[in-house]
Structure 1
Amino acid sequence: MNSRWISDRTTVAQPQTTKISQIDLLQPLRQWLDQLEISNPKLAKFIYKAIPAQCPFERDIVLFDRKIAHIPPMCKLNPLYDQLVGLRFRALCYLVDQCGMDIS
Protein backbone atom coordinates (compact mmCIF):
# COMPACT_ATOMS: atom_id res chain seq x y z
CA MET A 1 0.00 0.00 0.00
CA ASN A 2 2.82 2.33 0.75
CA SER A 3 4.38 1.94 -2.70
CA ARG A 4 1.04 2.61 -4.38
CA TRP A 5 0.57 5.78 -2.41
CA ILE A 6 4.02 7.01 -3.48
CA SER A 7 3.43 6.20 -7.14
CA ASP A 8 0.03 7.89 -7.13
CA ARG A 9 1.22 11.06 -5.46
CA THR A 10 4.61 11.46 -7.08
CA THR A 11 4.77 13.57 -10.18
CA VAL A 12 7.87 13.88 -12.22
CA ALA A 13 8.51 17.39 -13.41
CA GLN A 14 9.13 17.40 -17.13
CA PRO A 15 11.55 20.06 -18.31
CA GLN A 16 9.67 22.41 -20.56
CA THR A 17 11.43 23.30 -23.72
CA THR A 18 10.62 26.82 -24.66
CA LYS A 19 11.76 27.98 -28.03
CA ILE A 20 13.61 31.22 -27.62
CA SER A 21 13.03 33.35 -30.66
CA GLN A 22 16.11 35.07 -31.88
CA ILE A 23 15.59 38.69 -32.75
CA ASP A 24 17.48 39.78 -35.84
CA LEU A 25 18.08 43.49 -35.41
CA LEU A 26 19.67 43.82 -38.84
CA GLN A 27 16.75 42.29 -40.75
CA PRO A 28 15.14 45.66 -41.64
CA LEU A 29 18.47 46.93 -42.97
CA ARG A 30 18.99 43.71 -44.95
CA GLN A 31 15.54 44.04 -46.52
CA TRP A 32 16.14 47.70 -47.35
CA LEU A 33 19.47 46.90 -49.05
CA ASP A 34 17.91 44.01 -50.98
CA GLN A 35 15.00 46.15 -52.18
CA LEU A 36 17.10 49.21 -53.09
CA GLU A 37 16.58 49.98 -56.77
CA ILE A 38 19.43 51.45 -58.77
CA SER A 39 18.08 54.05 -61.17
CA ASN A 40 20.69 56.80 -61.12
CA PRO A 41 24.03 56.50 -62.96
CA LYS A 42 25.88 58.64 -60.40
CA LEU A 43 24.60 56.54 -57.52
CA ALA A 44 25.45 53.34 -59.40
CA LYS A 45 29.02 54.56 -60.02
CA PHE A 46 29.40 55.55 -56.38
CA ILE A 47 28.19 52.15 -55.14
CA TYR A 48 30.36 50.33 -57.67
CA LYS A 49 33.47 52.22 -56.56
CA ALA A 50 32.71 52.27 -52.83
CA ILE A 51 32.10 48.54 -52.35
CA PRO A 52 35.24 46.53 -53.20
CA ALA A 53 35.02 43.45 -55.41
CA GLN A 54 37.38 41.49 -53.16
CA CYS A 55 38.10 41.71 -49.48
CA PRO A 56 40.82 44.34 -48.99
CA PHE A 57 42.06 42.65 -45.81
CA GLU A 58 43.05 39.31 -47.36
CA ARG A 59 46.82 39.11 -47.63
CA ASP A 60 49.69 36.73 -48.16
CA ILE A 61 52.70 37.50 -46.01
CA VAL A 62 55.81 36.79 -48.06
CA LEU A 63 59.35 36.78 -46.73
CA PHE A 64 62.31 36.08 -49.02
CA ASP A 65 60.00 34.93 -51.82
CA ARG A 66 58.31 32.38 -49.55
CA LYS A 67 54.76 32.61 -48.32
CA ILE A 68 54.94 32.34 -44.55
CA ALA A 69 51.37 33.23 -43.62
CA HIS A 70 47.96 33.92 -45.09
CA ILE A 71 45.44 36.34 -43.62
CA PRO A 72 41.97 35.06 -44.59
CA PRO A 73 39.25 37.36 -45.88
CA MET A 74 37.47 38.86 -42.90
CA CYS A 75 34.68 40.48 -44.91
CA LYS A 76 32.50 37.39 -44.72
CA LEU A 77 32.19 38.00 -40.98
CA ASN A 78 30.25 41.15 -41.82
CA PRO A 79 26.56 40.38 -41.26
CA LEU A 80 25.61 42.55 -44.26
CA TYR A 81 28.21 41.06 -46.62
CA ASP A 82 25.74 39.28 -48.93
CA GLN A 83 23.50 42.33 -49.24
CA LEU A 84 26.42 44.66 -50.02
CA VAL A 85 27.83 42.31 -52.66
CA GLY A 86 24.36 42.02 -54.20
CA LEU A 87 23.98 45.81 -54.20
CA ARG A 88 27.35 46.20 -55.93
CA PHE A 89 26.34 43.60 -58.51
CA ARG A 90 23.03 45.36 -59.21
CA ALA A 91 24.87 48.68 -59.62
CA LEU A 92 27.31 47.06 -62.04
CA CYS A 93 24.48 45.48 -64.03
CA TYR A 94 22.67 48.83 -64.20
CA LEU A 95 25.80 50.57 -65.50
CA VAL A 96 26.39 47.92 -68.16
CA ASP A 97 22.79 47.21 -69.24
CA GLN A 98 21.06 50.57 -68.90
CA CYS A 99 23.91 53.05 -69.35
CA GLY A 100 25.95 51.03 -71.85
CA MET A 101 29.19 51.61 -69.95
CA ASP A 102 32.21 49.38 -70.39
CA ILE A 103 33.42 48.32 -66.95
CA SER A 104 36.90 46.86 -67.07
Structure 2
Amino acid sequence: MEKLESRLDRLEDTHRSVIAAAYENMAGTNQIHRAILQLLDPPSFPALLETLSGDLSDTLRIDHMRLVLEASQEAPSLQGLGDVLRIAPAGFIADHVAGGRSLRDRKVTLR
Protein backbone atom coordinates (compact mmCIF):
# COMPACT_ATOMS: atom_id res chain seq x y z
CA MET A 1 0.00 0.00 0.00
CA GLU A 2 2.85 2.39 0.85
CA LYS A 3 4.41 1.68 -2.53
CA LEU A 4 1.17 2.63 -4.29
CA GLU A 5 0.81 5.81 -2.23
CA SER A 6 4.38 6.78 -3.06
CA ARG A 7 3.75 6.17 -6.75
CA LEU A 8 0.53 8.18 -6.61
CA ASP A 9 2.39 11.09 -4.96
CA ARG A 10 4.99 11.05 -7.74
CA LEU A 11 2.27 10.99 -10.39
CA GLU A 12 0.48 13.92 -8.75
CA ASP A 13 3.74 15.90 -8.66
CA THR A 14 4.32 15.13 -12.33
CA HIS A 15 0.76 16.18 -13.14
CA ARG A 16 1.24 19.50 -11.32
CA SER A 17 4.50 20.10 -13.19
CA VAL A 18 2.90 19.39 -16.57
CA ILE A 19 -0.04 21.69 -15.84
CA ALA A 20 2.31 24.47 -14.67
CA ALA A 21 4.43 24.12 -17.82
CA ALA A 22 1.30 24.26 -20.00
CA TYR A 23 0.15 27.50 -18.34
CA GLU A 24 3.63 28.97 -18.74
CA ASN A 25 3.66 28.03 -22.44
CA MET A 26 0.23 29.63 -22.94
CA ALA A 27 1.41 32.83 -21.25
CA GLY A 28 4.47 32.96 -23.52
CA THR A 29 2.36 32.33 -26.61
CA ASN A 30 -0.06 35.10 -25.64
CA GLN A 31 2.86 37.47 -25.10
CA ILE A 32 4.22 36.72 -28.59
CA HIS A 33 0.75 37.14 -30.14
CA ARG A 34 0.38 40.57 -28.50
CA ALA A 35 3.81 41.57 -29.82
CA ILE A 36 2.98 40.46 -33.37
CA LEU A 37 -0.29 42.40 -33.32
CA GLN A 38 1.63 45.48 -32.17
CA LEU A 39 4.05 45.05 -35.09
CA LEU A 40 1.16 44.91 -37.56
CA ASP A 41 -0.53 48.04 -36.21
CA PRO A 42 1.77 50.98 -37.18
CA PRO A 43 0.72 52.73 -40.41
CA SER A 44 4.23 53.95 -41.33
CA PHE A 45 7.90 53.04 -40.93
CA PRO A 46 8.61 55.83 -38.40
CA ALA A 47 5.58 54.67 -36.39
CA LEU A 48 6.95 51.10 -36.50
CA LEU A 49 10.26 52.34 -35.10
CA GLU A 50 8.39 54.11 -32.28
CA THR A 51 6.54 50.87 -31.53
CA LEU A 52 9.82 48.94 -31.46
CA SER A 53 11.39 51.32 -28.98
CA GLY A 54 8.35 51.67 -26.73
CA ASP A 55 5.31 49.45 -26.50
CA LEU A 56 6.87 46.35 -28.04
CA SER A 57 9.85 46.40 -25.69
CA ASP A 58 7.46 46.62 -22.76
CA THR A 59 5.29 43.77 -24.07
CA LEU A 60 8.29 41.48 -24.57
CA ARG A 61 9.85 42.65 -21.28
CA ILE A 62 13.20 43.48 -22.83
CA ASP A 63 15.46 46.44 -22.16
CA HIS A 64 16.88 47.12 -25.62
CA MET A 65 15.79 46.36 -29.14
CA ARG A 66 17.48 47.07 -32.46
CA LEU A 67 16.26 46.77 -36.03
CA VAL A 68 19.28 46.15 -38.25
CA LEU A 69 18.94 46.92 -41.95
CA GLU A 70 21.66 46.14 -44.46
CA ALA A 71 22.58 48.78 -47.03
CA SER A 72 25.19 48.56 -49.76
CA GLN A 73 25.67 52.32 -49.63
CA GLU A 74 25.02 55.19 -47.24
CA ALA A 75 21.33 55.74 -46.57
CA PRO A 76 20.96 59.35 -45.41
CA SER A 77 17.17 59.12 -45.58
CA LEU A 78 17.26 56.49 -42.80
CA GLN A 79 19.52 58.50 -40.52
CA GLY A 80 17.78 60.26 -37.68
CA LEU A 81 14.79 57.91 -37.61
CA GLY A 82 15.48 56.89 -34.06
CA ASP A 83 17.86 55.06 -31.79
CA VAL A 84 16.33 51.65 -32.48
CA LEU A 85 17.40 51.59 -36.17
CA ARG A 86 20.92 50.55 -37.14
CA ILE A 87 22.28 50.52 -40.68
CA ALA A 88 24.86 47.80 -41.32
CA PRO A 89 27.02 47.05 -44.34
CA ALA A 90 25.87 44.41 -46.81
CA GLY A 91 26.63 40.91 -45.54
CA PHE A 92 26.50 41.84 -41.84
CA ILE A 93 23.48 39.64 -41.05
CA ALA A 94 24.98 36.56 -42.73
CA ASP A 95 28.24 37.08 -40.81
CA HIS A 96 26.35 37.56 -37.56
CA VAL A 97 24.25 34.42 -38.04
CA ALA A 98 27.32 32.37 -38.98
CA GLY A 99 29.17 33.60 -35.90
CA GLY A 100 32.52 32.96 -37.55
CA ARG A 101 31.61 29.38 -38.45
CA SER A 102 31.36 27.94 -41.91
CA LEU A 103 27.71 26.99 -42.30
CA ARG A 104 26.25 24.90 -45.05
CA ASP A 105 23.04 26.16 -46.59
CA ARG A 106 20.05 25.69 -44.31
CA LYS A 107 16.46 26.65 -44.84
CA VAL A 108 16.02 27.52 -41.15
CA THR A 109 18.54 28.75 -38.60
CA LEU A 110 17.52 28.44 -34.97
CA ARG A 111 18.81 31.00 -32.49
Question: TM-score w.r.t. structure 2 length?
Answer: 0.32
Larger-gyration structure (1/2): 1
- Greater share of residues in helix: 2
Question: TM-score w.r.t. structure 1 length?
Answer: 0.34
